[in-house]
Structure 1
Amino acid sequence: MPDGSYSFSYPGVDNQTQNIPLNNGDILFVLGANGTGKSGLIHKIYTQNAGKAKRISAHRQTWFNSNALDFTPATRMQAAQNINSRDSQIQSRWKDENGVQKSQIVIFDLINAENVRAREIAKAIDQNNTARAEEYAKANHPPIEVLNHLLQLSNLPIKIFVEKNEKVFARKNNGNPYSIAELSDGERNAILIASDVLTAEENTLFLIDEPERHLHRSIISPLLSSLFQKRPDCAFIIATHDVGLPMDNPESNVLVVRGCEWNGSQISAWDADLISADHDIDYHVKKDILGSRRTLLFIEGNQNSLDQHIYQILFPDISVIPQGNCTAVERVVNGITSTETLHWVKAFGLIDADDRQQDELDKLKENNIFSLPCYSVESLYYGTDMIYQIALKQASVTGEDAGILKNTALQEAMTAIEPHKERLCSRLCERKVRTEIKFPDWEYIKNRDDFGFDLDLKSIRETEIQKFDSYMEAQDINSIIGRYPVRETPILNKIAGALGFQNRGKYESSVRQLLIDNEEVRIKTRNLLGDLVTVIKGEQEPTERLCA
């Protein structure tokens, strides 16, 4: 294989060999969770590129025994041979028997690079070729000077320098010098990674496993980006858990490793998806899919909302990602489904119905965006069936009658909701008016001279009040919770208190634990989401009436 080209192939779980082209200047992030086989894949690539690859392992030693140079050129060469031999063995994935030698080699190579530069310049001067000396000095900056510049760019205010007897010292913020052995773990780690890359020969494939260890993102991200720019004559493969690292380097390719198959103590195949830098993927879309499962459910709300917690329990095999509002959910789902290169990603959306017309909901459904069949997610937590299940759970501890607990909770809820009738009905009318009033766009305005709409707000309000009264008369708590913004009333805390909980947060936590522990209740609750469940699971499951 010619210089500047490298081998990268692995067996896939589909029994097909996957090949990824890799050449100088290329950057590939291998992204995956713990246990997916990232380190095993890095080891395989290392053995495929024997003599060309330089490996910086995740379990690397980040300390120095001293700041003195203990190697001679001969011992350095012998140590490198030992390291190459050890790194080729399968146990090197988790065991590093040459940690001390690797750290010493880094220091040796850094000082040696300085000395080589100085000798070349001195040789030109001795030959009275000052032009050559100046040309060489200009083209080859002092390695330690380059290292210090990178450290500054990476938010590390330290400088490295060599004193007599070739001892290496550090200085922070122009303070007193001290041994590099006294640096922090993060500082030493940054120096080891940067020095390894800066002093390597051209046409080297760098395999860096978990560079974020011991280093904050504000340091490792700019450090890696700077190293990529400094060594376009090399290629980089970075194995990481940090989704932010590939996002900070948009010119990179990303291999998302989902898992692996084992044959005894050896990995026999990997399950992975490649996202090429050439793929035209929106930044936010890419951020959402990296590190996620192949099936994604985008929802309204945020990371701390009731939605996120309960949907992740109801759909444990997919990634549930909050997007804030319905517009953001629609944008990201449409962005993924319209990107052909993401054919292996299945994206779905779940939004509030917000009194949308049925034809609009049907159109959204064609794009895998489904509506929650009620006002808000509280209906999943506080429906009568769920209240009874929690009453049973409480009764098993207190010895009380579950039926009485449930009825007490429902009566407390109905009593608490009555004083809020006018406000709840008005809030729903407000949403209805906002939905029905279609503000004209500029083209409509340009082509018409008269504008106006006729809205009988009094009739809308009276109809809503009649509907509310009918629910109250029928003691239909499901319809009330499913239709109105009850979180703005005391009703939820009243239900929680009647069941023996200090507050609604304690009750909602108990609901989530019940869903985790009880598969039957979990399935029944999930089925309340109707068409979304049918499409995600790929099979028809019974649905139940949840809201009026």
Structure 2
Amino acid sequence: MVSIRFPKKNSEEVIDYQLDNQSLIIIGANGSGKSHLAAFIEKKDYEQATGEKRGEKCLRISAQRIMNFDKYIPLKSYEQSEQKIIFGDERFPDKQSAKWRNNKTGSTDWTTSVIDDYNDVLSATVAKINEEYKKFYEDSKNGNVDECRRKTNHLLSDEIELIWNKVLPERKIEFKDACVVAKFPDGEDTYNGNQMSDGERVCLYMICQVMVAPKNMLIIVDEPELHLHPSIMNRLWSILEKYRQDCHFIYVTHDTEFAAQHPDAKIIWVKSFDGKNKWDYEELTNDILPDGLLLKILGNRKNVLFIEGKDDSWDYKIYSKIYSQCYVIPCRSCHDVIDYTRAYNKRKNLHHLQVFGLIDRDYRSQEEIENLKKENVYCLNVAEVENLFLKESILQYYHQQQQISDSASDTLIKNIKKKIIDSFSDDLDKQEDNAIKAGIKYHLSVLPLNGNIAEIKQYLHNDIDKNIDGIKNNVIDYLKTISESREYDKILAVYNQKGLYGSLNEIAASFSRENQGKENITKDFYRNYREFIVRALSSDTELCNIFYQYFPAEILKLNKI
């Protein structure tokens, strides 16, 4: 555990923050004040320290850093190099007037001063390697066999190469004759390490910074993701933490994936900064963090819409166009949509966003639909999202775009509607059965089950006798009325049948046989219909307006559509 001087939330008061984990992640959107908070921590460590070397237990690796180094590594003592890295000057150990001094203005700037210490990091690395080599030689010469065996393959040079090989196995490096030498694993040709890629040079810099840092340091890393692929970044820092378990790490990032990949870290979400000494922030807990989803939401500035399906589902393809001003997040099921919407709306202290859920109507009763609305979960005005493609106005739009005659369009739509209506009538018993089961399941889910087991059993027995037949009769009467009315839109609102879209191909094929040569309509007329409609939603305002009438007015209104 380490104690950190930290600003109290929304206050200029400074408190002692106890970091009992090895790492802390400070995350927030761009401009939220994350880097200023990291500088604040280092500055307070400097201000409260006494003695000649103030702030010697905190090393902050700035995001404003130059990642170039010389062909030949300057040879210095470890003490000289270490002092330059931590304090900015090997002779004058004062961070405020050396490391964070802006050379252009002459003033101290803890956040934007550009750090150019790569050569010093490599100097410290070479110096420490040489110290270990010398000690190993002396142990060997003095016959300290056990000590030599213990250190074999565990010297700093071995560990750096081992870490490098785990992170970037496609390239080999070694320190040789005051140079960093790089080569391909299967080749003999070598080249100087200063010619490596940006990402490779960043990896080497971070590895050496951490591995040569003095014991028990607080290491603050600003933007650990800079120049690094996410998979490399996560692997790199996980390995470095294992090698330096004596140290504590603070990462400052806006990368939500990085935070999600560190389940053992404490996470502080920074919401805002007043530009002086006040931050608004929250410490996140794991109670509602499914796969880092909370971090993804916090990392964006749009209102959030949870939907059913996957990235390649029709739900997402349509909703991401209709709600383009929202952050649309597909979930595995309607239950996830409901649970996530509830959970995030209970945590308004973490965000200022409006969070909604949008699900298929399925077999839900009007009572269930109205209760879901109270929790910002809304139902589509059709039973399933695929039923939208069967709406008359959307079919008419497609027909117009395909430039078929009005009479052909009317005939196709008339036949499609008859096919769907007749299908619903034929399928009525199954639809009733599924709707009754859904109604009973919902009814039981909202019962107030209190008391002991015997009391609950008696309560359920009485409730079933009293209400289940009523649920059954209401469903049968409701669906029977819709079926007898033969009202197409009402049927699409309650008809759950994944195979309905196939009816379009049957109708097109029948039309083609009966009207050969009269219209440019083949059996494949609707083959790419859905894809065409989704593409058109990206640019055609007319089509978007058609779709809007089938979506919950509450979400459209709240999202300024």
Question: Is this a same-fold pair by TM over 0.5?
Answer: yes
Q: Output the CA distance in 1 between the equivalents of 2:503 and 2:43.
A: 65
- Check 1:36–1:434 CA distance in 2 against 1; reply closer, same or farther (3 A cut): same
Is 2:188 aligned against 1:176? yes
Counterpart for residue 165 of structure 2: 152
Task: Tell me if 1:354 matches 2:362.
Answer: yes
**Contact 1:381–1:508 (8 Å) recurs in 2:** no
Q: Which residue of 1 aligns with 2:552?
A: 529
* Aligned partner of residue 418 in structure 1, secondary structure: helix
Q: 1:406 to 1:59 in 2, by over 3 A?
A: farther
| Contact kept? 1:37, 1:260, Cα under 8 Å | yes
Aligned residue runs from structure 1 range 108-123, under 5 A: 108-122=123-137
Shift of 1:236: 1.5
Q: Summarize the alignment of residues 404-415 of structure 1 with structure 2, pairs less than 5 Å apart.
A: 413-415=413-415
Q: Tell me how far 1:505 sits from its aligned partner.
A: 4.0
Contact 2:140 2:148 in 1 (8 A): no
Determine if contact 2:419/2:503 at 8 Å carries over to the other structure.
no
One-letter identity of the residue aligned with 2:179? K
CA 1:280–1:259: 2 relative to 1, 3 Å: closer
| One-letter amino acid of the structure 1 residue matched with residue 262 of structure 2 | N
Q: Deviations over 1:411-452 (max 9, x none)?
A: 7534443344434555675444223248999x99xx99xxxx
User: What letter corresponds to residue 55 of structure 1 in structure 2?
Assistant: R
Which runs of no fewer than 5 residues in structure 1 stay unpaired?
395-399, 542-548
Alignment partner for residue 45 of structure 1, among 20, 41, 46? Answer: 41
Task: Count matched residues.
Answer: 494
Cα displacement (A) at 1:409:
6.5
1:273 equivalent to 2:282? Answer yes
Contact 1:310 1:512 in 2 (8 A): no
Would you say 1:204 and 2:217 are equivalent positions? yes
1:161 has 2:174 as partner: yes
Partner of 1:62: 67
Q: Is the 8 A contact 2:26 2:253 kept in 1?
A: yes
Sequence identity of aligned pairs in percent?
22
When the two structures are superposed, what TM-score results if normalisation uses the length of structure 2? 0.68
Distance 1:421 1:250 in 2: 52
Q: Residue 197 of structure 1: CA displacement?
A: 0.7
User: Quick one: distance in 1 between partners of 2:540 and 2:383?
Assistant: 23
Deviations 1:9-46 (A, max 9, x none): 2764xx67686825475312233344444334434434
**Cα deviations across residues 83-135 of structure 1 (Å, max 9, x unaligned)?**
44359977675562x43xx2211211111111222344456667x5838x818
Aligned in 2, Cα 1:242/1:285: closer, same or farther, shift over 3 Å? closer
Conservation of the 8 A alpha-carbon contact between 1:350 and 1:370: yes
Specify the alignment match of 1:191 in structure 2: 204
Aligned residue for 2:49? Answer: none
Letter in 2 for 1:170: A
State the secondary structure of the residue aligned to 1:61. Answer: coil
Q: Does 1:103 align with 2:111?
A: no
> Residue 237 of structure 2 corresponds to which residue in structure 1?
224
Q: Is the 8 A contact 1:301 1:308 kept in 2?
A: yes
Q: Is the 8 A contact 1:355 1:432 kept in 2?
A: no
Once residues 186 and 530 of structure 1 are traced to their aligned partners in structure 2, the CA distance between those partners, rounded to angstroms, is 48
The residue aligned with 1:434 is: 434
Distance 1:282 1:302, change over 3 A: closer
Displacement, 1:222?
1.6
Is residue 130 from structure 1 mapped to residue 144 from structure 2 by the alignment?
yes
Describe the SS at the equivalent of 1:29: strand
Give me the whole-angstrom Cα distance separating, in 1, the residues matched to 2:244 and 2:214: 10
1:467 has 2:480 as partner: no
After superposition, what is the alpha-carbon deviation per residue over 1:355-395, rounded to whole angstroms, capped at 9, x for unaligned?
22344445545655433232234677887888999999x9x
Whether 2:436 is the aligned partner of 1:418: answer no
Change over 3 Å in CA distance of 1:156–1:242 after alignment to 2: farther
Q: Work out whether 1:303 is the aligned partner of 2:316.
A: no
* 3-state SS, counterpart of residue 353 of structure 1: coil
Query: Hey, what's the Cα distance between the residues in 1 that align with 2:179 and 2:153?
Result: 22
| Structure 2: 5+ residue stretches without partners | 47-54, 90-97, 445-455, 462-468, 509-519, 522-527
Contact 1:347 1:368 in 2 (8 A): yes
TM-score (norm 1): 0.69
